[in-house]
Amino acid sequence: MTPRAVPTPREQLAAARRIVVKVGSSSLTSLDGGIDPTRLDRLVDALAGRRAAGTQVVLVSSGAIAAGLAPLRLHRRPRDLATQQAAASVGQLLLAHAYSASFARFDLAIGQVLLTADDMIRRSHYRNAQRTLERLLGLDVLPVVNENDTVATDEIRVGDNDRLAALVAHIVGADGLVLLSDVDGLYDGDPRKPGSSLVAEVDDPADLQAVQIAKPGQASLGRGGMATKITAAAMASAAGIPVLLTSAEEVTAALDTAADGPKTGTAFRPSGRRMSARRFWLRHAADVHGRLDLDAGAVAAVIGRRRSLLAAGIHGLSGDFVSGDVVDLVGPDGVVVARGVVGYDASELPGIIGRRTSQLPPEQRREVVHADDLVPLT
């Protein structure tokens, strides 16, 4: 019997029954006019078309801060956090209303879901987010997700909506992720210069080290750039989700359900297996607050036998962390082998590391990092 061919990432995206689409600020708004209704309607037309084809859609949309600039008579994206939050507070309402009115043309209801990093790292929070998104989809509502910029601080910020989209794609068990940019894909050089070529497919994001990545310009309305999109694509593809990176101008082609898939942008082939949402976030946590240095025996227990990390296997630490923070676990060769949520403050550990559990006071006879809160990186 002839072995069945493995579908290409484009074919997987075309056949996806649940898909997450992320759109950036620059694709929806302008500095002088706030929300651009023509751009927004074009996006909604394509999403509604994919919905009509039988696909469940989750939209991760930037644009709240940018949408709030014009009403507040601000001429550029503010740099201070308080003004960003104020702009987001005004713009989020405008953006939600614009989406609601546009989707109403197709008799589609939307639900707004605002998330922070806490909703990903804390077990009860991400389960609540997962249940809410799942229920919205079950009620035939299209969720519109954004980071909650009205309250998010640097300490609780996911960082960018590209990363948020990858997290959401994993949480909802999406079959595909589409990242819409202001360029039509990934190039092997500066796309503004002659001689650069579109990279049509990426088998492994590690192959992109030599690719020149353009940064967002000073007038950019968003936080991200091509680097954040590649990071998000790597996160999702490593968890078994095919990704397409293309221009918002090509959104209709990007959501094409033809058997051979969309013929635009850069497709990222899924290169790993799915993991729990909590472990997925831990693996890609942006805010690591310290490190624990492990001996060879602890590395073997943590990586080889998937055991909890005990004080006896630690011979050093660094960083100003508290219980509940994310830390790196580092082997004797200096390589980060795992990441996890630490159960002690940094100030508590010097007196107990290297000691067996039986040698510790009863109140300290617990794991430094529990196996349920730990994800190997090797």
pLDDT of residue 275: 74
Nearest 5 degrees, angle CA 121-CA 56-CA 252?
A: 110
Q: Has 215 been labeled as part of a binding site?
A: no
**Strand, coil or helix: 17:** coil
For strand 266-268 and strand 243-247, is the pairing parallel, antiparallel, or unpaired?
antiparallel
pLDDT of residue 85: 87
pLDDT of residue 17: 96
Cα gap 166→233, rounded to integer Å: 7
pLDDT of residue 302: 94
Q: Give DSSP secondary structure letters for 62-91.
A: --HHHHHHTTTT-SS---SHHHHHHHHHHH
Q: Has 182 been labeled as part of a binding site?
A: yes
Domains of the chain: residue spans and CATH: 9-281 (3.40.1160.10), 288-376 (2.30.130.10)
Alpha-carbon Rg for the chain, nearest whole angstrom, is: 22
CB atoms within 10 A of CB 80: 8
Q: What parts of the chain have a pLDDT lower than 70?
A: 1-4, 31-33, 117-118, 120-124, 149-159, 206-207, 209-225, 277, 285-286
Cα gap 311→294, rounded to integer Å: 9
Q: Three-state SS across 215-245?
A: CCCCCCCCCCCHHHHHHHHHHHHHCCCCEEE
CB atoms within 10 A of CB 76: 11
Q: Has 181 been labeled as part of a binding site?
A: yes
At which residue do the structure tokens 């950036």 appear? Answer: 24
Cα gap 157→162, rounded to integer Å: 13
**Strand, coil or helix: 189:** coil
- Please state the pTM of the whole predicted model: 0.81
Cα gap 145→319, rounded to integer Å: 33
Cβ atoms of 266 and 246 closer than 8 Å: yes
Cα gap 59→40, rounded to integer Å: 12
pLDDT tens digits, one per residue of 264-318: 999 999 987 777 767 777 777 557 899 999 999 999 999 999 999 999 999 999 9
How far apart, in Å, are the Cα atoms of 338 and each of 82, 296, 307, 365, 369? 36, 13, 12, 22, 11
- How many Cα atoms within 13 Å fall on the side-chain side of residue 263? 3
